[in-house]
A = this chain, B = another copy of it.
Amino acid sequence: MTRDPSGQARSVEDHAGIIARMLEPLSEQPPEETVRLEAALGRVTAEEVRSEVDLPLFRNSQMDGYAVRAADIRSAPVALEVSGDIPAGHTSPVTLIAGTALRIMTGAPVPTGADTIVPVEDTELVLGRDDDLEGAIVEIRRSRAAGEYVRERGSDVRRGEVLVPAGTRLAPRHLAALAAAGVETVRARARLRVGILTTGSELISSGAPGFGQVYDANSVALAALVQESGATVSVRASSDDDPATFERILDEALAQSDLVITSGGISKGAYEVVREVLHPRGADVTTVAMQPGGPQATAVVGGVPVFAFPGNPVSTQVSFVVFLRDPLRAAAGLPPIAPVEAALTTDLRSVPGRRQFLRGLLDGSGGVTPVAGHSSHLVAGMARADVLIDVPAEAEALEAGATVTVWTL
């Protein structure tokens, strides 16, 4: 049991710093992977993406209408022969005969020799029909300056310019820009692979519980917390209180994971399987001055960081939120979830010497009310909360109206 030199339990800040430093290498040199655009929503770019093309790819029409020379319509209204038709997707270059108009659709290439598009609203076919332009005559009702309604090649982005910077969390608008430039894959931060190991001979995952058995809430909760933090679950396994069982699933998880989280088996009692297995492997087993969540351990086994949380379901979730959420988000390239302030709606008492993370519910007007009790087994109670109320270690009591820091769940 490691305590600080004064014999006190370790502070939350100190333990959080230790965990953040253990994960720093994964934030600073995050693993990368190639992701197809179709699967890249929400992923974070590992490098900037520069356009390999000009956008627009070619000079094209901004409107449905007629491509003309500005010089030919200066004296509008004027009637021009329609010398052809350029639908979007027209696949061969066209040259405008001076003194005539070419019908053109939005996005179609502006013909050589044309410098202006006249929107269809400013025109009328005085001879011919929309579906038969042979020998048609169009009246252009108003003049236009050269360049109007022409989208110049490269006017959106030029070849070599940055389309999306490194570290961008890809939203639909980024994917649209990348797709428009013909980009099919991006280098993204890889999702960290997290192994999740729950322990306890009393745990069952399904079926009817026998005497003394309970359902494993931590495996599902940790998996969800990991996914929310931009990582992925590599292994989910559970162990009874036999060290050999835990050692086996630990080794399996270490082989397939960038980091491993365990729950349970870390306190001072007998049958503390995580402590028994990790301590000989160099774990830092400690008590953090917090409630819930006091017993904590960290280890690096075969180069893989292991974070051991206590097993009560509220303790496990609070430990993740307080210690692991922001470091994992940082490694994923996501911003931290900053704590906010709220005003207590009620008096509360606390245990001095330990920082309390009470379950609380925000109202719409800046107030926060504790919900459920303090006890770390109140897993259903925690489901009714939306924040953790952070009560400083030195506080014995706080009065209604006091400002407290709250952590969004």
Q: Which residues of A contact B (CB under 8 A)?
A: 37-38, 41, 51, 55-58, 60, 62, 64-65, 85, 87-93, 103, 105-109, 120-121, 130-131, 151, 155-157, 161, 163-164, 171-182, 184, 200-203, 206, 209-225, 227-228, 240-241, 267-271, 311-313, 317, 372, 375, 377-383, 385, 409
Q: Which residues of chain B come closer than 8 Å to A377, judged between CB atoms?
A: 56, 60, 62, 107, 151, 156
Q: How far is the CA of A154 from the CA of B55 in the complex (A)?
A: 64
Task: For A201, give its contact among B37, B89, B171 (CB under 8 Å).
Answer: B89
Could you show 18 A-B contacts with beta carbons less than 8 Å apart?
A: A58-B212, A60-B377, A62-B377, A87-B201, A89-B212, A89-B241, A90-B202, A107-B377, A120-B268, A156-B377, A156-B381, A161-B380, A173-B385, A176-B217, A176-B220, A176-B383, A180-B379, A180-B380
Given A107-B377, A179-B215, 13 extra CB contacts under 8 A? A41-B224, A90-B211, A91-B212, A93-B211, A107-B214, A107-B312, A108-B202, A109-B211, A120-B268, A172-B317, A176-B382, A179-B217, A182-B209
Determine whether the beta carbon of A220 is less than 8 Å from that of B379.
Answer: no
Q: How far is the CA of A69 from the CA of B178 in the complex (A)?
A: 71
Q: Which residues of chain B come closer than 8 Å to A175, judged between CB atoms?
A: 220-221, 224
Determine whether the beta carbon of A215 is less than 8 Å from that of B62.
Answer: no
How many Å from the CB of A10 to the closest CB on chain B?
A: 17
Q: How far is the CA of A210 from the CA of B91 in the complex (A)?
A: 7
How many Å from the CB of A35 to the closest CB on chain B?
A: 13
Q: Which residues of chain B come closer than 8 Å to A372, judged between CB atoms?
A: 156
Ranked nearest first, the 4 interchain pairs of A and B with the lowest CB-CB distance are A89-B201, A64-B269, A89-B202, A176-B221
Instruction: Provide the main secondary structure of the chain A interface.
Output: loop
Q: Which residues of chain B come closer than 8 Å to A55, judged between CB atoms?
A: 379-380
Determine whether the beta carbon of B41 is less than 8 Å from that of A228.
Answer: yes
Q: Which residue of B lies closest to A104 (CB)?
A: B269
Q: Which residues of chain B come closer than 8 Å to A65, judged between CB atoms?
A: 269
Q: Which residues of chain B come closer than 8 Å to A220, judged between CB atoms?
A: 37-38, 172, 175-176, 178-179
Q: Which residues of chain B come closer than 8 Å to A267, judged between CB atoms?
A: 64, 106
How many Å from the CB of A275 to the closest CB on chain B?
A: 12
Q: How far is the CA of A51 from the CA of B218 in the complex (A)?
A: 18
Q: How far is the CA of A227 from the CA of B57 in the complex (A)?
A: 29
Determine whether the beta carbon of B379 is less than 8 Å from that of A156.
Answer: yes
Q: Which residues of chain B come closer than 8 Å to A109, judged between CB atoms?
A: 211-212
Q: How far is the CA of A409 from the CA of B174 in the complex (A)?
A: 11
Determine whether the beta carbon of A221 is less than 8 Å from that of B380.
Answer: no
